[in-house]
Chains A and B, each alone.
Chain A
Amino acid sequence: MMLNVSIYRYNPETDSEPRMQDFQVDTGGKDLMVLDVLELIKSQDTTVVYRRSCREGVCGSDGLNMNGKNGLACITPLSETVKNNKLVIRPLPGLPVIRDLVVDMSLFYAQYEKVEPYLQNDTPAPAIERLQSPEDREKLDGLYECILCACCSTSCPSFWWNPDRFIGPAGLLQAYRFLADSRDTATNERLAKLDDPFSVFRCHGIQNCVNVCPKGLNPTRAIGHIRNMLLTRAT
């Protein structure tokens, strides 16, 4: 069974504009993962460039746009994405392309940095560790699992238009992860930095982020919680 694959090719150093290159891949009738298909293409044409690492959906390196939907190539089976024997692979939308399927994630990381994604506590550190009740720990479920693959933020139109001002679903999920942490004492300072018209409120709740998250997380719900915290604090 030959699968028709169309891949986005662009080398800014030599190409004046991006183009699509077609490949025929023998899948051997198996339901391969998209990453396997990319590896087979790489054996046909070694100049195809993409990021990959763990190949099991943990590292978040191979976030790609497959037949119009963002996801991790390593855990997306062909049966989930291929229609009419055709697979179109493009880089994550909205970020500058470095080469072929590799994008420059600087803007994405800059937004992540803005939410200060680390525990802040100004009380003296206890001798062993800061304890947390099982109930408080449970509040972090569905938040801490993010692998920063950028599938969500790059599927969000608000992030496409304002990647420098809107924190984006991935960053906001992490913002709430620390707002919700019982051990963090910087809650008020964190909220004060989010109360502008862009950082949080560019989210119009269209839930593209929820639709694509390969880990099944829900950034829209986290953003709703942040909004409620801001509202409680300010009214």
Chain B
Amino acid sequence: MVTAVTSFGRSGLSDWLLQRISAVILLAYFICIGGTLLGGVDYASWKAMFELTSMRIFSLLAVLSLAAHAWIGMWAVLTDYLTERLMGNKGNVLRIAFQILCSLVIFVYVVWTVQILWGY
């Protein structure tokens, strides 16, 4: 059993399941947005759509899914390529630095999205 404290759910199974569920949610969201855009929108109808509580919940769900999906994906990439095995101790420093950077960026995006959805 390999331990990992920086993975999203601390368990391979939980990360794997969440990655799939979040992918389905994102697919549904982008189909919904894409369909709306293809149907033709103006400012008023777009604004009205995002004033619906249901759309705000759906949008927030999509953004949280994106955050989890991005974290799990980036974590897998970073632990593949920025490792002690490939780069020596430099790999450990770079990996942790990039992990912190990723989580900060994701956090900022989530807060910013909440502000956009409920702030106007």
Contact = CB atoms under 8 A, between A and B. Distances in A.
Contact of A199 (B7, B12, B81, B85): B12
Residue with the greatest number of chain B CB neighbours at <10 A, chosen from A193, A198, A204: A198
B1 interface: yes
Contacts of A201: 12-13, 15-16
Contacts of A196: 1-4, 11-12
A231 interface: yes
A148 B4 CA distance: 29
A28 interface: no
Given A197-B4, A198-B4, A199-B2, A162 B13 contact: no
A102 interface: no
B101 interface: no
Contacts of B79: 162, 197-198
Nearest to B14: A234
A234 B1 contact: no
Decide if the interface of chain A is mainly helix, strand, loop or mixed.
loop
B2 A161 contact: no
A231 B17 contact: yes
Contact of A162 (B7, B11, B12, B80): B80
A165 interface: yes
A234 B86 contact: no
B83 interface: yes
B1 A195 contact: yes
Interface string B62-81: 00000000000001100111
A230 B1 CA distance: 14
A154 interface: no
B13 A234 contact: yes
Interface string A135-169: 00000000000000000000001100110110000
Interface of A: 157-158, 161-162, 164-165, 192-202, 204, 227, 230-231, 234-235
